[in-house]
Chains A and B, each alone.
Chain A
Amino acid sequence: MSADSVITVRDLHVNFWISGAGIFSIKDVVMSMGRQKALEKKLVLKGLNLEIKRGECFALMGKNGSGKSTLLRTLAGIITPESGSIEIKGSVAPLLTIGAGLENELSGYENIKIVGTLIGMRGKELKDAVAVIKDFSELSHDDLNMQIKRYSAGMMARLAFSISVCRIPDILIVDEALSVGDQGFQVKCADRINEMKAAGTTIIYVSHSLAELKRICTRGACLEDGKIAKVGPIDEVGEYYSQSFK
């Protein structure tokens, strides 16, 4: 691992465990006395190598099902790999699905406390975060006291996104999460990402919008069938990705 890299992935293999659906498969397992397995493993990432440097904004491209989300989840520590190694220096903040962990029946404030705790904030840090989130989301005190099931989709997205970005992490993982809220909020989100970038945060960005990737990122990689097919400057990888559809 070279000194300036924050993420080093070597020969990464990740499996999905697929269970046969329905009672018939259990019957089959029992009938075959365990020779037939109830759970089949399907290799999704097949020996992936990747190195991402400190402070860079790295783009991930690839067709649907090529393993982008799985790679992000593995980097975020959500999926345990089958084999291979991952070295990560610093804290990782994943922005994978908007609204994860939000509980419809509870108020905005209660949700901030719960999700904040889940992503690792405690005590004073959490208390301060409430103010930052309130400010960033532009939700009023009344809004935040309301059960979030009464929120509009945009308000929900504002709350969720604000919780996710209230801390400046060492590494930010973004999975097409920026297209939330109204136009004003989208600009704000982009600003916040730039702010993090300026503060030295390494960003891994997944998107299908080449224009957006080119605007934000300097380097990137294209995934094909669980492996890195191409890695390099954003223009080259973008060109390679576009060509793959022809």
Chain B
Amino acid sequence: MDTLLFSLKLSLQVATVATVFVVIIGLCTSYLLARRNFPGKELLDILLTLPLVLPPTVTGYYLIVLFGRNGLLGRHLYAWTGWSIMFTWYAAVLASFVVALPLMVKTTRAALESVDEELIRASYTLGHSEFRTAMKVIFPLAKRGIFAGTVLSFARAMGEFGATLMVAGNIPGRTNTMPLAIYSAAASGDRPQAVIMVVIFTLISGIFLYAANKLTRRLI
């Protein structure tokens, strides 16, 4: 029971924090991809989309290469602070973030690109800066896609397993999110525990999607 509550709480916490970052960074990159031309634009798009098609373990491996204690970036972080993100719940957030971001960017970019160019030009000729135009015209008109991207990202972050296992491990009471706890229970033959968690996870996901649908209809 303790495991269940802990892993449920951790999963929600990880998914929520990851989604906050996904929304902020996803909106900025989608805007750049949709409305600006710069060298390496398509490369950036491919890099951001790769986690969508790669096996999560491959994504996880890259994260180890980058952020591990001896990783390209993680090495410096460890040298300065003596701290490594590996095997903490932050690593679970990082894994969920990287895997969920492409869903946000794909959906949001398409929504931003579908905003009528004439409206954007009208805003400019009425004296509004690019930033204000984005906040007042482009994002509000793309809110349906932005919301859909957010919902998909949260759902993906909740269900993240492979990359999380690689970078955060499966440490009971620390990094065992619900999908990992379910794996442990099933692997160790604790069927009742596995069944309870599977049912709860399914119910929560169902309720979440129901609420998202309802909110979409009210919002738009």
Co-complex (A, B) = no
